[in-house]
Each structure stands twice: as structure tokens, then as C-alpha cells.
Amino acid sequence: MGNRYDIRLSGSGGQGLILMGIILAEAIGIYDGKFVAQTQSYGPEARGGSSKAEVVVSDQEIDYPKALRLDLLLAMNQKSCDDYYMDLKPTGVLLVDSTFVNQIPIPRAYQIPFTRIARDRFKKEMVANIIALGAISWLTPIVSVKAIEAAVLARVPRGTENLNRNALRAGISAAKKVEKTTLLTPSNFLENEDT
Amino acid sequence: MKRREEYVKKRFNKEKLLQGNEAVVEGALYAGCRFFAGYPITPATEISEVMSQRLPAVDGTFIQMEDEIASMGAVIGASLAGAKSMTATSGPGFSLMQENIGYACIAEVPCVVVNVMRGGPSTGLPTSPAQGDIMQARWGTHGDHPAIALCPSTIRECYELTIKAFNFSEKYRNPVILLLDEVVAHMREKITLGDDRIDIFNRVKPTVPPEWYIPYEDTPFGIPPMANFGEGYRYHVTGLTHDVRGFPTSRPDEIDPFIRRIFRKISQNFSDLQIGESFMTEDADVSVIAYGCVARSAKRAVIDARERGIKAGLLKINTIWPFMRIQVEKVLKTSHCVIVPEMNMGQISREVKRVNKGDAKVFTINKVDSTIITPTEIFNRIREVC
């Protein structure tokens, strides 16, 4: 059946979750060369409402494209955190945007204030998703930092490369600060990673 | 540095992360589509969006029309003038297109209509998946008419079936409907383009001089050669039932052979139109018959069942219409039970029951809550029935 690694990125519409999903899938699939399937679900609104993007990673062709039991859950608001943390595997990682998520349901959680970093350091709230991608690339074994950087730079609009590169690095350094050792999930995907 | 070069190399190895809708566009352009008229609608908008960027680069034409009725009219006109043409829409727009789809059937105009199924009826659920337009693809337009509809479940199939849809439409001079669901249309997977060769079929043109040309003449295959407008062959095109020269007729001895011929186009070439895939059905006690995104859940459920010692199998049907009864009948004969999961109240399961003849017990899973049927739901049903 292959080893699946299921990721769900959740929050509210307008936070850039679907773009995150696309970049993450591109980094893992094209640059790191694994099988990926990326799906999404969102409401008819342009902003607000709940939004989620899912990325399934496997070392062989993926049948069911939606996430089953989560290895990684990113929650960019309290509602999505409450709604989805039950889907995490016992070894799964919860990553929250502590700007909006105040109540953490499980002890195995990383809290990084993505939106506040975006607001304070970059004066642009919309790079919060790229900061989160940086944190994901550092905190999980599923994607390499190099791959995520290449994928981000290939996707973002021309002229914003420096802003996004800096955002990504801010995410990585924020991730370095949070506790790392106890939370890493053992995974077969670790084997070929050099980051 | 070396690793970065490797990345760049991989990147240009034509391996791409594409959405179902984008893969449809790639397939259409590969097949030679050079005209697109449409009106954007979720969840099919990306097809219009990408087409508007890509078509001008290959000397094609993109028009955003005022509505779906006009879109379908423009597609028929462009096809008569010789361009391979298509449009894309979702449920509400597909309803509006029905009248002109009938026109394309009777005037035998090749074209491809993509319908990305959303929850219905009416405006329904614009961003949610469903499979409720199966019967609309068959009987949406009025009158007795032949129909071809294909349904992909992976990104690779989105690409390949779009090419095949164009081939079928050109070959059989009939509109071909490509039925996607929201999950497949918006899902992204890796795909390598241009690594395989699918033959492209272009419409057969008349070989006789213009004055000898009889536009709707019967042939052994039932498909008359088609002259493009503007190439010197002048003929009449109408939505009225017509004689072999294309003019309206009310003579029973002309109407009957005409209607029988447009059906014969499909029935005579039935085996050519059947696309499907069986997975472990040879020795299966329980078989699942599924299509679209649900076929993916079903495959997972079948693998899970096999791991637990249940002899399960899957028949994935890609050709929805004409209903691929030959493969389905085979599965019905070899299995004790057949499960048909679908995201509607039972449209393909009706067809399965119709061809069943008491060979197997047919069970259904009908889910209409706007979410995809999960592998667990299908697995539980497999365990229940066996």
C-alpha cells in the first residue's frame, strides 16, 4: 500500500492555504520526486468561511487523494484547530498560528505566530502562509528546505522573490526556536533527507 | 549547487504538477483544439482561464460568450468551419447548453463539452463535488439521440480522455461530453506530458468534387465525410430532421433511415468506445463498479479488503455512455455481489441493474452530502455484503 504521509493545511478563506498546498505539493512532487496528490475544499466566499488544502505524499501511486489520518496539521485559526485535531495520528504533528490559536488541544503542538511575524517584520499579512511553509520545511521530514525554496520562487509573482525568500527564512528561524527534539515523527521518508 | 542544477533539470523534464482542469486544457491543445467559447463557472473556471492564455499562442481563438447557450452555438459554428472546438461548464451551464447539444447531434457536428459536476440541482453547491449529471449527459437534450460521455478519475486520465474525446467526436461526428467531478477537476498530481503518443483522429473530408457531394449520405460506417465551410462544398445545416442533402424532410422513408443511422454510428463501433480498467476482478467474490473520484476510494477499499482476505475487485468505468455493458456483464457473471458507490441517488447503479439479468446481487452506496465517498465506507459495505 505504500507509506502515506497526510498533510492538512487549514484556516479561513484568504489566508493563502490553497497556494500553500500547491507549493508544498510542487516541492515534494517535482523537486523531491515523490508521488503527491493535492486537494482542497473551500466555500463560495473569496474571504472568510473555512478553507483547507490537503497534500498526500507517498512512495507509490496514490489511490485515495484526500487525507485520511493526519501526519501534519497546520491550523491557522482556532476553529480549524478544534475541528481537525482529532484526525491526527498519535505520532502526528500539530502546528498552529499562535496569533489566532490560543487554546491548544493537545500537548504535541508547535506554536509559532505566523501572522504576527508577517505583520511586524514584513508589514504584509499575506506572507504568513510562506512563513508557515518555512516552518513546515524545518519541522517535518517530508520536504527539504531547498525544495520548498525552489517551489516558492517558481510560484510567486515576479518582483516578490526577495520578500518571499525572506519570509521563508523567517519561518525557518522561528521554527528553529521552538522545541524540536521530542516531536519529530519517525518516518520512512526520513531516509533520503539531508536537511 | 549541483543539487539545484538537478532541480532545474527535473523542472524542465516536462514533469508538472497539474490540476485536472489544466490537464484537460493540455489534452485539448494536444488533440488540436483551436477554438474555445465559454462562460466561466466554478468548478470549471480554470479551463476557461488557462485556455484564454494558451489558445492565442497557438493561433487559436478564445471567446468569452454572454452565456452558455451562446457558447454552445459558437462552438458548433466554429466546428462547422473546420476548427476542433470545445467548451467547459458546470451543472447550471450544462443545462443551458442542452438545446444546442441536440443541434450538434442532429447536424452531426463534432465538438467536446466538458461538464465539471457540482452539487445540484440548480445553483446547488458551487464548490462541492457530486456525480449527479450522469443521466443528463445521456438524456439531457430532448429527442432520441446517440450520446458519448467519458469520465476520468486521475490527472493522467483527464489528459488522455480529453484527447480521446476529441478523437471520438471527430470520428463519429457527435458531441462528446467529458464528465469531471469537482475533486478530479481541482486535484493536483504529477504528470509527465508528451512522453506517450496518442494518435490524433481528424474528421474525414469528402474526396468527391463539390457538385457530387452529398453531405448526409449513408456509408458502411454510418458516418458521412464532413466538408468544412469555406472550402467550396456548399450544403445546408439545420436542426430540423433532414434528408441526405441536409434539407428539412417529413417523409417517413427518409426520417427513419436517418435516425437509425445516427444510432448505428455508435452501436456499430461499440467496442471502440469502451474504456475501462479492471483491477483484481478475475477471482473476486465482491466487485465494485465505480467511476470518477469514487473509483479512487474504491481502489483503496479493494486493496484494504484483499489485505484482510476478502476477494474483492474493482471495475473502473471511464466510458459512461454508451454504457460499457460488455465489461460490466463479465463482472456480474464472475462475482457474487456487485457494489456501485456513487455520489448521487443511483444513476449508474440503475444501468448495472438493467444489464444484470440476475447474475449477481447489486448493492449501492449513495452519498449526497457533498463529500467524497471514503474508502472506509466502501470497505464496510464490502464486508457487509460478502
* pLDDT tens per residue across span A102-146: 988 888 889 999 999 999 999 999 999 999 999 999 988 889 899
In a domain, A87, yes or no: yes
Mean pLDDT calculated for residue range B83-98: 96
Q: DSSP letters along A67-115, please?
A: -SSEEEEEESSHHHHHHHGGGEEEEEEEEEETTT----SSSSEEEE-HH
Interface check for A2 against chain B (CB to CB < 8 A): the answer is: no
Please give the residue of chain B at the shortest CA–CA distance from A60: B190
- Determine how many CB atoms are found less than 10 A away from the CB of residue B196: 9
Task: Enter the C-alpha cell of residue B343.
Answer: 455520489
In a domain, A111, yes or no: yes
Contact (Cβ atoms closer than 8 angstroms) between residue A69 and residue A3: no
* pLDDT(B185) > 80: yes
Number of domains forming the structure of chain A? 1
The residue type at A81: C
Mean pLDDT calculated for residue range B186-214: 89
CATH code assigned at A56: 3.40.920.10
Best mutation target among A62, A64, A68 (most B Cβ atoms within 10 Å) is: A64
> What is the distance in angstroms between the Cα of A130 and the nearest Cα belonging to chain B?
19
Contact (Cβ atoms closer than 8 angstroms) between residue A145 and residue A138: yes
Task: Enter the C-alpha cell of residue B313.
Answer: 475487485
Residues of A in contact with B189 (CB under 8 A): 29, 36-38, 62, 65
The residue with cell 481528424 is: B202
In a domain, A152, yes or no: yes
Instruction: Tell which residue, B321, B289, B283, B314, has the closest CA to residue B299.
Output: B314
Q: DSSP letters along B94-118, please?
A: HHHHHHHHHHHHHTT--EEEEEEEE
Task: Enter the C-alpha cell of residue B28.
Answer: 485539448
> What is the distance in angstroms between the Cα of A172 and the nearest Cα belonging to chain B?
19
Within 8 A by CB and 6+ apart from A169, the residues are: A134
Task: Enter the C-alpha cell of residue B105.
Answer: 447531434
Interface check for B257 against chain A (CB to CB < 8 A): the answer is: no
Q: Which residues of B86-101 are buried (b: 16+ CB within 10 A; e: fewer)?
A: bbbbbbbbbbbbbebb
Task: Check residue B148 and give its pLDDT.
Answer: 97
Task: Check residue A48 and give its pLDDT.
Answer: 76
CB contact under 8 A, A150 and B375: no
CA pair distance B255, B270, nearest whole angstrom: 23
Best mutation target among B14, B16, B187 (most A Cβ atoms within 10 Å) is: B187
Domain that holds residue A23: 4-178
Within 8 A by CB and 6+ apart from B197, the residues are: none
pLDDT tens readout for residues B324-348? 999 999 999 999 999 999 999 999 9
Nearest to A63 among B42, B296, B307 (CB): B296
CA pair distance B35, B32, nearest whole angstrom: 9
Task: Check residue A41 and give its pLDDT.
Answer: 87
CA pair distance B217, B214, nearest whole angstrom: 6
Residues of A in contact with B183 (CB under 8 A): 39, 65-66
Instruction: Tell which residue, B240, B262, B241, B243, has the closest CA to residue B147.
Output: B262
The residue with cell 444501468 is: B351
Rounded percentage of chain B residues whose pLDDT exceeds 70: 96
Listed as ranges, residues in chain A with pLDDT below 70 are: 1-2, 46, 179-195
Task: Check residue A187 and give its pLDDT.
Answer: 46
Contact (Cβ atoms closer than 8 angstroms) between residue B53 and residue B27: no
In a domain, A194, yes or no: no
Please give the residue of chain A at the shortest CA–CA distance from B129: A41
Mean pLDDT of chain B: 93
Mean pLDDT calculated for residue range B189-213: 88
Mean pLDDT calculated for residue range B214-224: 92
Task: Check residue B4 and give its pLDDT.
Answer: 54
Nearest to B190 among A29, A40, A41 (CB): A29
Domains of chain B with bracketed CATH: 2-192 (3.40.50.970), 276-385 (3.40.50.920)
Whole-model pTM: value is 0.91
Q: Name the least confident of B74-78, B189-193, B250-254, B283-287.
A: B189-193
In a domain, A34, yes or no: yes
In a domain, A91, yes or no: yes
Residues of B in contact with A62 (CB under 8 A): 189
In a domain, A92, yes or no: yes
- Those of residues 68-107 in B touching chain A at CB distance below 8 A are none
* pLDDT(B264) > 50: yes
In a domain, A191, yes or no: no
Q: Strands, E, within chain B: which ranges?
A: 15-19, 33-38, 61-64, 84-90, 111-119, 125-129, 148-150, 175-181, 188-192, 276-279, 286-290, 312-317, 319-321, 337-342, 361-366
ipTM: 0.85
Contact (Cβ atoms closer than 8 angstroms) between residue A82 and residue A96: no
